Structure 1
Amino acid sequence: MNGTAKHNGHVCPQHILLVEDEQDLAKLIILNLKALNYSVDHATTLKQAMHIIEHKKLDLILMDRMLPDGDGIMLCEQLRQDGKEVPLMLLTAKDSEADVVLGLEAGADDYLVKPFSVLELRARVKALLRRGKAQHEQTQQIEFNSVTINSSTREVTAFNKALTLTAREFDLLLFLAKHPQQVFSRMQLLEAVWGYHYDGYEHTVNSHINRLRNKLSLCSPEHDLVKTVWGVGYKFSPPEVQAH
């Protein structure tokens, strides 16, 4: 069943906030989300969005970047700084790689460039909501010699240092760590971690891998936990099996 989740035995629609000031586009998106049985709130400004976020429990936020009272990236950054991990997808006409990286670094889980197809929007929304649901259901801790990853608290400790990761960086590290020494292509990671399979989005994986590596290297520069296998992809190499 699309768009529903069980709470205390009752089936409740998953709740999405759309922040979009283009009325025609907003109507189209809302129509499609409601067709999938999602509950939708609509805001046209950052101020309206913040009010809804503060007063309602949300399963997903879809946010335009260029809004009347500012850039959606500012709200994205604020939410992550406040510790709110609700999945967030940016919707924008800004399509340069620099803009995509800026959005991802701000803490967005996905970045969809306008104009987009309704089918692609639906697929990505479903993928983000599936991942969010799975995160709540899983309680697991992965431990290596000097690295601990807790999927319940979403905390990572590497070489006795706490690591601050975005939601997507955490998901990427968790997936790789569940399959130590196994090599995954960028497309495999895109499908497994992002939940969709589209050519041309491999640079999204590269950007996240690079930022994840940079953060891990701050904990222990001499350990390369996420290794590149040239011409193939990436793998997680636990510290106890690395050559010294």
Structure 2
Amino acid sequence: MARLLVVEDDETIGEVLESRLRAQDHAVVWERTGRGALRAAGADFFDLVLLDLGLPDVDGVEVCRRLRGIQPGCVLVMLTARQDEMDVVLGLEAGADDYLTKPFGFAALLARIRAHLRRGVPDPPASARISVGDLVVDTAARRCTVLGRELDLRPKEFDLLARLAVDAGTALTREQLMDDVWDVNWHGSTKTLDVHVAALRGKLAAAAERWDAVLPGIVTLRGHGYRLEGPGDRPVTAPAGS
């Protein structure tokens, strides 16, 4: 059972989401405004937030940004009727992990929720520590460090970086990354992947400059996918605590 926050001002949609998600044994809190959502997030922890962007009081993208600051570890999924690609990208850059465009089927939403709550990286051993240059990815502790300093990553950013690090130097297709980091039954846009890659690049570049570190880069392979390119080092995998 997960704790879910539904932020939706449409009474019909909100009632349906609340009742159906509770029927799946989730604990659900339904808020109808952005301010209500921020109050709820400040008072309790949630595993996942379903956030409508078209709220009556505060712009949904701004609510998303504030929610990410309040609960950095939760999954944020935007629900939007907006068709403009820039609105979606702004939401993802504000801290959302994913989005669904209205209207959507409940089965698709439920599959997406399950994919996000899974939060696993299947390939590395459960207790693996993967080193690429000055970057260390500890999958058991779900921590990334640079020269002993922790790199602040959102849940899916960690999963994506861990997946790339497992096969550093190897070209991974977009489909492989979506299947492994999100879910094999994923039916959403791969724009989510691109935004997460961009965020990781920014954080790695900032960490390299701030701490004078030698870090890997994420190379775009047009028409194929991505590759984590180490700074001349082969990835080293060792049991945690070694």
Q: Secondary structure at the match of 1:201?
A: coil
Q: CA RMSD in A?
A: 2.8
Q: Deviations over 1:59-86 (max 9, x none)?
A: 2111111212112222221233345311
Percent identity between the two aligned chains: 35
Q: Which has the higher contact order (CA 8 A, sep 6+)?
A: 2
Paired position in structure 2 for 1:194: 182
Name whichever of 15-24 and 175-184 sits farther off.
175-184
Matched, 1:144 2:136: no
Q: Is the 8 A contact 1:190 1:197 kept in 2?
A: no
C-alpha displacement at 1:182, in angstroms? 2.6
C-alpha displacement at 1:209, in angstroms? 1.6
Pairing of 1:15-30 with structure 2 (within 5 A): 15-30=3-18
Matched, 1:38 2:37: no
How many Å separate the matches in 2 of 1:19 and 1:26? 8
C-alpha displacement at 1:26, in angstroms? 1.0
TM-score, normalised via structure 2 length: 0.80
Paired position in structure 1 for 2:63: 75
Name whichever of 227-236 and 210-219 sits farther off.
210-219
1:235 to 201, 207, 227: 227
The answer for unaligned runs of 5 or more in structure 2 is 235-242
Q: Is the 8 A contact 2:144 2:150 kept in 1?
A: yes
C-alpha displacement at 1:213, in angstroms? 1.9
The answer for unaligned runs of 5 or more in structure 1 is 1-12
How many Å separate the matches in 1 of 2:62 and 2:198? 22
Q: Is the 8 A contact 1:21 1:45 kept in 2?
A: yes
How many Å separate the matches in 2 of 1:91 and 1:112? 5
Paired position in structure 1 for 2:107: 119
**In 2 relative to 1, CA 57–99 (structure 1 residues): closer, same or farther, beyond 3 Å?**
same
Between the two proteins, the alignment pairs up a number of residues equal to 227
How many Å separate the matches in 2 of 1:223 and 1:56? 36
Name whichever of 139-148 and 173-182 sits farther off.
139-148
